[in-house]
């Protein structure tokens, strides 16, 4: 945080106050196409920083939903989360047989190579581009015929490339202490594995594990982390986790959470208040 969370500019007409933010988009669903291995869903984009806002004015907030997993193609991409001028892009859906992962805040993992053995790439992360980056690329499939699928990208690391029959692990998320304790969010979903192999782990920060053919199903990304869903095989890919918007500001201020939003404000601590918004679309204001 730059400086204290107090008024940073004042004149006869108005003043602004510094508000720290964490904006995490919805994670993507894992891909799947029947009996083949689907790529893990990419994590929702994660952006953090400070904005100078004018109390009494209203500021838009949207918490992005997680994308659905698929049993017949690409996982659905996650939805964007928004706070005022800050937009984090939803994660890119996991790929399926003979198809690359989808681009997004973090990219989805590539689907399996099918009968051709042609590697399928992960989707590009940090799409659209922001500075600093909001996410990473998904991992590629292995070149093994009907082998493992790639892991979805995470906010802190690329998704792992599959090696042989096991799927690639999801990329790690990014830790933030905006709430007062360190919490990792926006991990990528694991890619699906062929039978007889372990499930590929989702990335730290809410990423779901990939499924195993004729074994276990994929697991969903954790709600309000933006984690990607695991890739599926002979069952649907899993759903991505919803996003979250977290705001930290001076405890001399009071926030109003408008209709259409679900959120709560923690008791003041250390001179600050922290408001966590977990669902919906609407406006907030400070006074």
The domain ranges of the chain are: 1-287
Distance from C-alpha of 71 to C-alpha of 234, rounded to nearest angstrom: 8
Q: What is the DSSP string of the chain?
A: --S-SSEEEE-SS-EEEEEEEEEEPPPPPPPEETTSPPPPPPPPPEEEEEEEE-TTSEEEEEEPPPPPP-SEEPPPPPPPEEETTEEEPPPPPP--TT-PPPPSSSPPPPPP-TTTT---PPPPSSSS--SS----PPPPPPSSTT-PPPPPP-SSSPPPPP-SSSPPPPPP-EEE-TTSS-EEE-PPPPPPB-TTSPPPPPPTTTPPPPPBTTS----PPPTTTTPPPPPPSSSPPPPPPP-EEEEEEETT--EEE-TTEEEEEPPPBTTEEEEEEEEEEEEEEE-
Low-confidence stretches of the chain (pLDDT beneath 70)? 1-14
Q: How far apart are CA 270 and CA 4, in angstroms?
A: 11
Length of the chain: 287
Alpha-carbon distance of 226 to 87, in angstroms, equals 14
Residue 87 is encoded by which pair of tokens?
A: 């937009």
How far apart are alpha carbons 138 and 99 in whole angstroms? 13
- The pLDDT of residue 14: 54
Q: Which of 27, 30, 25, 28 is nearest to 230 (CA)?
A: 30
180, 147 Cβ separation under 8 angstroms: no
Look-up of token digits 């042609």: 118
pLDDT at 9: 34
Q: How many CA atoms lie within 13 A of 44 on its CB side?
A: 39
pLDDT digit string, tens, across residues 171-191? 999 999 999 999 999 999 999
Predicted confidence at residue 5, as pLDDT, reads 35
Longest dimension (CA), the chain: 71
Q: Report how far residue 114's alpha carbon sits from residue 66's, in angstroms, rounded to the nearest whole number.
A: 27
- 287 vs 283: CA distance, rounded Å: 14
| pLDDT for the residue 34 | 83
CA-wise closest residue to 83 among 279, 283, 265: 283
Q: How confident is the model at residue 13, as a pLDDT? A: 38
Q: What is the pLDDT of residue 10?
A: 36
| pLDDT at 92 (0 to 100) | 98
As a whole number of angstroms, the distance between CA 245 and CA 280 comes to 10
Spatial CA neighbour of 104 closest among 188, 169, 162: 188
pLDDT of residue 35: 85
């Amino acid at each position: 945080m730059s400086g204290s969370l107090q008024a940073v500019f004042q004149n006869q007409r108005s003043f602004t106050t510094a508000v720290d933010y964490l904006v995490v988009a919805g994670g993507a669903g894992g891909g799947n196409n029947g009996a083949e291995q689907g790529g893990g869903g990419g994590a929702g984009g994660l952006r953090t920083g400070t904005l100078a806002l004018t109390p009494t004015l209203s500021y838009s907030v949207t918490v992005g939903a997680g994308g659905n997993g698929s049993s017949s193609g690409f996982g659905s991409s996650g939805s964007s989360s928004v706070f005022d001028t800050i937009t984090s892009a939803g994660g890119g859906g996991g790929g399926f047989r003979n198809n690359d992962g989808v681009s997004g805040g973090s990219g989805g993992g590539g689907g399996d190579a099918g009968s051709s053995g042609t590697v399928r790439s992960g989707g590009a992360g940090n799409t659209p581009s922001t500075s600093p980056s909001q996410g990473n690329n998904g991992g590629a499939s292995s070149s093994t015929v009907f082998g493992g699928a790639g892991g979805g990208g995470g906010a802190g690391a690329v998704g792992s490339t599959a090696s042989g029959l096991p799927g690639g692990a999801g990329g790690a998320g990014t830790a933030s202490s905006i709430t007062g304790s360190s919490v990792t969010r926006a991990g990528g979903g694991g890619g699906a594995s062929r039978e007889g192999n372990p499930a590929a782990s989702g990335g730290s920060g809410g990423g779901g594990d990939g499924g195993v053919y004729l074994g276990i199903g994929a697991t969903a990304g954790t709600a309000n982390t933006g984690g990607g869903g695991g890739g599926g095989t002979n069952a649907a890919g899993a759903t991505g986790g919803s996003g979250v918007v977290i705001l930290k500001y001076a405890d001399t201020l009071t926030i109003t959470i408008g209709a259409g939003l679900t959120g709560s404000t923690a008791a003041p601590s250390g001179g600050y208040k922290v408001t966590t918004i977990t669902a919906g679309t609407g406006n907030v204001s400070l006074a």
